[in-house]
Structure 1
Amino acid sequence: MAEIRVPKLNTNDSAYVLLEWLVADGAPVRGEDVVAAVETSKTVEELVSGHDGILVQLIPAGADCTPGQPIAHITPHPAPTTTPPMLATPPPTPVPPTPVAPTLATPPPAPVFDGVPAAGAPATVPGGAPVSGAPATGSGDAVPSKAPLITAPAQALIDELGIDPARVRALPVKVVRRVDVERLAAAGSPSPRLPAPPAADGPSLPAKAAAASPAVVPPAITPPPPTVVPHAVAPPVVAPPGETPSAAVPPAVAPVTAPASAASAVASPGAVTAPVVPVGGSVRGLSGNQRAVGRTVSLSHQTIPAAYTAIKVDVGKATAAARDLTKRLRKLVGLPDLLIAAVARLHHDFPLCFATLLDENTAAVPDAPNVGVTIDLGTGLYVPVIRDAHTKGIEEIAGELAGFRRLAQRGGFRQEHFDGGNIVVTLHHDRDIVMAVPIVFPGQACALALTSPQREGERTVAVIGLAYDHRLVNGRDAVLFLQALKETLEAASFEGL
């Protein structure tokens, strides 16, 4: 009999959580089968069987487990039962034929009134066969045998956002966590094909629609007469002291004649109607980039309880140092490059500012800071990532950022440029911008905003804002994080950055 023991998964934790059993107790397994998911403080690890046999669980899902602890046994497969030798079968006893009842005529179909069968009539399917008594199975979607397990926080978010279960089942993971659902929702569903916007000098959309497809009224139906909607009666108006009552009485308004199509809206106050194009207006399709931004922003506001704190920084010495580095390195260096380097150096002291919330109890802390930075040159907003930024100097960071700007101009970004970020620096350094509130990207904890440097007396100052997921970072930690950035940027020397 073999054992499945919990391996040592990292050096930080002395205990883990058995998140889920992926194979039922008593089920047969093969040596390469994944049987359990164990959650550490950083991630979720999958444990394989390692042996062929029958799985016997020793602890329940949700229980704590320690490195080296056995959590299951693998017993050998049960021996096949031996079939006894076949005995001679006695000849069958003759059975008299059973009389057959006479065939009854098929009853006539039950009457149907307004598409509803009469009381007592059997329900039928479109082919005419009676519906069996089997219970309904919902949408009828087949559930694959290898469908991933979904944690309770992930399921709650799926229900909240109304995500198609088929998209969740298609995820290439054994266990679906909340962060997987957030990323799935941020990716969005395929955008519908939008009609091309009309030419600027052409007729408006309503006029073109009316010319292209005039309304056709069936000959057997007479359109209802227009509905006359009387103007709402205003409440009595009391004239203020010093004015005559006649001066305070509103002028009479003639009754408003509404088209017949408005009758339903009048009869059903509060009904939600689709947006309409204003007279003389036009329709413009959003770019794919903007639709992606919209999905991310909507998901962030729906799922992340963000807070915001800002700090004023004297950047006079930092901008002077950037000018000196530009001359020495013969490469453009600016305040954003210094800020990205300073943010990356804070990963060790403020790990939760770079973390990913897994559920209400745990967060995954990355081993290295991967800093995303916003690039928007008028062709769309992009957030490429500088990976392992804590290992790179100012010259290398400045070179990568310059390369990102060139890619934004030529449209040469690939998906790999955007993957893996765990914090974002947003740049708002156009002239006279004094404050900006960034969004926290789904799956991340913090986003910073750098504004334009401004003269303030004898100083040159800039405001650095921090938006943060309050489930991971508290206000005091946010203040300490910003103060550490302030000290670095206001330092007289940037050696080591």
Structure 2
Amino acid sequence: MVTDLVVPKLNNNDTSYVLLDWLAEDGEQVRAGEPIAEVETSKAAEELLSDGDGVLHRLVEVNRECAPGDVIGHVFDSEEARQRFLAAAVAPPVVPLPDVSPGGPVLTDSARELAAAHGLGDDELRGLGRSVVRRTDVERLLADRSAAPAATTEPVVVAAAAALAAGDGPEPDDPRPVHALSRAQRAVAAVVTESHREVPAALAVIKVRADAALTVARDLTRATRTLVGLPELLVKAIGGLREDHPLLFASPGDGSSVRLAEAAHVGVTIDVGTGLFIPVVRDVEELTCAEIAETLMHFRSRAGGEGFRAGELAGGTIVVSLHTDPDVVLAGPIVFPGQTCVVAIGGTQDELALDTDGRVVTRRFVNLSAVYDHRVVNGREAVAFLQAVKAALESPDRLAEE
């Protein structure tokens, strides 16, 4: 008996991953549930576990691409069974290479197969401007080629239109330097594209007095010795509104229904200069502000160091997008596929106002925006949700007590 080691679908953003490392040797005895390989997605590194006890046989080398559903290894009942497999193995079919001359780009296996299937040659592959061409690069090249306009009697106009349609950087003889987007940024591009294509989003914005919340945050910081700020209070406030505003935490269904969340799992944007991550604070209803603050501090540390596991980035029911630089007045982020709402907080602003005695005083406020899936949520519901968040932040004592 043999058990296949199959690459699972780790997130919705990627069509392929990279095999980072084998955690067990060829012919080594492994046990069910043990990590035996590590793959890299665009956002995280994830361990793959053995589904059974037995002897490992590796099929894919380290640093090769692998896609969800690929079999990258076998686990045999015994070494004898593995040796029988090796003795009976036949050489894999030879995949004809595209016409790539010496000095041309290096192709990954999956990119080579796709290029060969579509007859792509050296000139087109070199035009990508990459030293290493991956399958996603070939897919984009094929999409750009199919989208190019037909020839007309106006070649200059056609060339300009093709360049605009491609939107994929300079031509091969363009002297401008080529900047390759990182794997993480390409994943961001895929999510943004899907969101704009699939989600009819709408925007609502509300102004929130921040003085009381900032005071409570300072008091909590002193009392708990944990850095608490407006983001932590906002996450807490949103988590407490799931039961009263369930559609803002829902997942779109088949167009006639949605799935309601059973808990408030709040994704929070984290960007410390190593890329954008959205790890999830789970079961926010059950956490104190100090616990939320500790979790977010841990996330920031992970983002700047060892990174995240795929499971830490999945399962969110709503997102808080942090744009807290003082110069940011308003933000309107995308709604992430599979969710119905993202709440953005801008930087704190000062304004002059009159107190009850007619004196001029300075007050602090922030703008909160909700971008929502208009197929599921209407403007009235979105504004009511924002008003509930506003009420919680402007009277924050309850947030501090819970």
Give the equivalent residue in structure 1 for 2:372.
468
Say whether 1:285 aligns with 2:112: no
Q: Which TM-score applies when normalising by structure 2? A: 0.59
- 1:432, distance to aligned residue in structure 2 (A): 1.4
Match of 1:375 among 270, 286, 289: 270
The 5 Å alignment of 1:52-451 reads 184=12, 186-189=13-16, 266=153, 270=158, 272-273=162-163, 276-277=170-171, 279-451=174-346
SS in structure 1 opposite 2:397?
coil
Alpha-carbon distance in 1 for matches of 2:180, 2:105: 7
- Secondary structure in 2 matching 1:187: coil
Aligned to 1:496: 401
The one-letter amino acid paired with 2:14 is A
Q: 2:266·2:284 contact (CA, 8 Å) conserved in 1?
A: yes
Question: Are 2:170 and 2:178, in contact at CA under 8 Å, matched by a contact in 1?
Answer: no
Q: Which moved more, 1:484-493 or 1:364-373?
A: 484-493
Give the counterpart letter for 2:389 in structure 1: L
Q: Distance in 2 between matches of 1:470 and 1:267?
A: 42
Could you report, residue by residue, the CA deviation over 1:80-101 in whole angstroms, capped at 9, with x for unpaired residues? Answer: xxxxxxxxxxxxxxxxxxxxxx
Q: CA deviation at 1:438?
A: 1.1
**CA-to-aligned-CA distance 1:334-373 (integer Å, 9 cap, x gap):** 1100000000000010011000111111100011010000
Distance 2:229 2:202 in 1: 28
Aligned partner of 1:6 in structure 2 is none
Gap change, CA 1:267 and 1:486, over 3 Å in 2: closer
Aligned residue-pair number: 255
Change (3 A) 1:435 1:195: farther
CA contact (8 A) 2:340 2:376 kept: yes
SS of the equivalent of 2:233 reads helix
- 1 or 2, which has the higher helix percentage? 2
For residue 451 of structure 1, what is the amino acid of its counterpart?
G
Q: Deviations over 1:164-190 (max 9, x none)?
A: xxxxxx998xxxxxxx9xx74x33456
SS at structure 2 position matched to 1:425? strand
Distance 1:454 1:315 in 2: 9
TM-score by length of 1: 0.48
> Which residue identity lines up with residue 483 of structure 1 in the other structure?
Q
Partners of 1:386 and 1:336 in 2: CA distance: 12
Contact 1:314 1:462 in 2 (8 A): yes
Summarize the Cα distance change of 1:492–1:348 in structure 2 as closer, same or farther, 3 Å threshold: closer
Distance in 2 between residues matched to 1:436 and 1:446, nearest whole Å? 14
Q: Is the 8 A contact 2:170 2:176 kept in 1?
A: no
Contact 1:373 1:425 in 2 (8 A): yes
Q: Which runs of 5+ in 2 are unaligned?
A: 1-6, 18-41, 43-63, 66-103, 107-122, 128-150, 353-361
Tell me the percent identity.
43
Supply the AA of the counterpart residue of 1:276: P
User: How many Å separate the matches in 2 of 1:454 and 1:403?
Assistant: 28
- 1: CA distance, partners of 2:396 / 2:271: 31
**Residue of structure 2 in register with 1:214 after alignment:** none
Cα shift at 1:493: 1.6
Distance 1:305 1:342, change over 3 A: same
**1:266 Cα shift?**
4.6
- Counterpart for residue 483 of structure 1: 387
Change (3 A) 1:339 1:195: farther
Q: 1:195 to 1:416 in 2, by over 3 A?
A: farther
Change (3 A) 1:195 1:430: farther
One-letter code aligned to 1:444: Q
Give the residue type in structure 2 aligned to 1:411.
Answer: E
Measured after TM superposition, the shift of residue 267 of structure 1 is 5.3
Q: Which fold has the larger relative contact order, with Cα–Cα distance below 8 Å and residues 6 or more apart in sequence? A: 2
Query: For 1:474 and 1:373, how far apart are their aligned partners in 2?
Result: 24
- Mark the CA change 1:188 to 1:306 in structure 2 (over 3 Å): closer, same or farther: farther
| Structure 1 Cα separation of the partners of residues 374 and 401 of structure 2 | 32
| Secondary structure at the counterpart of residue 216 of structure 2 | helix
* 1:452 Cα deviation from its structure 2 partner: 0.5
What amino acid does structure 2 have at the position aligned with 1:436?
A
| Structure label with greater radius of gyration | 1
Distance 1:195 1:282, change over 3 A: farther
Name the SS of the counterpart of 1:311 in structure 2.
Answer: strand
CA distance, structure 1, for counterparts of residue 365 and residue 170 of structure 2? 46
In 2: Cα distance, 1:369 partner to 1:396 partner: 15
The code of the aligned residue for 2:382 comes to: A
